[in-house]
Structure 1
């Protein structure tokens, strides 16, 4: 039996009430995205803005370059893995990164640094899987561009509504070079986010527990953000709506008190 894609399962056109309902569901996903991250911060007894200061200066100074290299490697590895494992359930990605986070946190900063590129690869693969779930082909440069763009969100330990929404902007014509340029642009932002993850993993005593919880939070967060991103793109297609206009409706819902995150 041939498995149908998301685009084949859903009707080709939907009415205004259905559009509103799905926008509300996506806004709720956005609201829930960082809840696990808040729990992690409560566990380690710190604030996101103070985490980076816990890292040694040499590590902080290399974060941008290390993150860009990890992201470029992740693109190649995650893409290649689809040839062997085309479908990967969301729970498996969360389980893998949780286990890797525990191992990375158990050995302190050295093992956390070694684990970073592997976790980045699994995160990107998880984002690609969500794209495929909505009927988009991760082999296409435009979809690859969107998958990288999901990493431009703020991250679960440092929620910022502006950053979380900025990555949803309308996509332009995309080439392979544009994807590579986006990697360089996103890397510094992601470096800050992953630096917070590293610092959380090195919390004394908690070590492995903090590493596992942090990786679970990151994977859940980026999966939720990928659902928001590709859910809006799919909705624009099915509702025959301009993506930019649909995004403005979504922003309005996110900013409403009933769906805005505490």
Structure 2
């Protein structure tokens, strides 16, 4: 009979699972809130409650001229937001006032509601830049260094992450799915900015980044515009629509930068696994 060698001890069958890394209670709760914000975009539901009709159906009924105007305004707004992200924010380490952001966005929404589609080319860029400043403050609060081009671009990325609808396929539109689709363009754009130090007009890598963001941001811009042009909305309702617009992207930003903060602490694989578990159990 062969006896075990002296001092030999049986090894656990799954050594990696013997000491799993667990999130601190506060971090787990923060991740749970992030899942709620990122997996269940609420803008369409909020706007539908305002106008009393499914906002997505109203958006589909907009004339082609309105669709073209929304597309042009969306592109212009994101171009201005990108320049702000890479130039203004990194030179201004001070946090802004969330109340001020809400007041300014509400005021611009009142103008949009009063004068309709004609003001969109002016109102949307203004609203988008104000929202970007709010997103940047949230990013800073979660430990982001906005002098890093990748972190600054992550602020712009929020506009795509918040551009999903309730009718999207969950497997293709979930937070990590969208983030994965944008990962290459974000990385390439950040590398380009880090190497050049400036953003050249029409640089292919930056055009590709903005195009991918715009294709998703345009979805919620259409919803917002449809709500503001609805006959019963008017100036007061237009202000409320913009307020909901801002709150929507603030919620998405908090979720996004919470996930990024936890990834820096625990590692991407662990956070993605826990995120998926929480999302599946909702």
Moved more, 58-67 or 228-237: 58-67
* The 10-residue stretch of structure 1 (155-164 or 18-27) with the greater mean CA deviation from structure 2: 155-164
Deviations 1:59-109 (A, max 9, x none): 213433331222011222455544468311323222221121112101122
Q: Return the index of the structure with the highest Cα Rg.
A: 2
Structure 1 residue 235 and structure 2 residue 262: aligned? yes
What is the deviation of 1:194? 0.6
Deviation at 1:183, TM superposition (A): 1.1
Q: 2:160 aligns with which of 145, 148, 152?
A: 152
1:135-194 deviations in Å (ceiling 9; x for gaps)? 212232111221122111244875745535133449564323655531121112212221
TM-score by length of 1: 0.79
The residue aligned with 2:65 is 58
- Correspondences of 1:17-32 after superposition (within 5 Å): 17-18=24-25, 19-30=27-38
1:163 aligns with 2:188: no
Distance of aligned partners of 1:221 and 1:20 in 2 relative to their CA distance in 1, 3 Å threshold = same
Q: TM-score, normalised by structure 2?
A: 0.74
**Most deviating of 218-227 and 82-91:** 82-91
Q: Judging changes above 3 Å, is the alpha-carbon distance between structure 1 residues 92 and 157 closer, same or farther for their aligned structure 2 residues?
A: farther
Query: In structure 2, what is the Cα distance between the partners aligned to 1:48 and 1:227?
Result: 25
CA gap 1:199/1:16 in 2 versus in 1, 3 angstroms: closer
- Unmatched 5+ residue regions in structure 2? 1-20, 194-202
Given the alignment, which residue of 82, 88, 97 partners 1:75? 82
Residue-pair matches, total = 241
**Secondary structure, counterpart of 2:217 in structure 1:** helix
Residues 52 and 60 of structure 1 are in contact (CA less than 8 Å); yes or no, is this contact kept in structure 2?
no
Provide the C-alpha distance between the structure 2 equivalents of 1:139 and 1:61, rounded to a whole number of angstroms: 35
* Unmatched segments (≥5 aa) in structure 1: 1-13, 258-262
Compare 128-137 and 159-168 and name the one that shifted more: 159-168
Paired residues of 1:145 and 1:179 also in contact (CA < 8 A): no
Give the direction of change, closer, same or farther, for the CA distance of 1:255–1:235 in structure 2 (3 Å limit): same
Query: Cα offset for 1:219?
Result: 0.9
- Give distance in 1, aligned partners of 2:255 and 2:83: 24
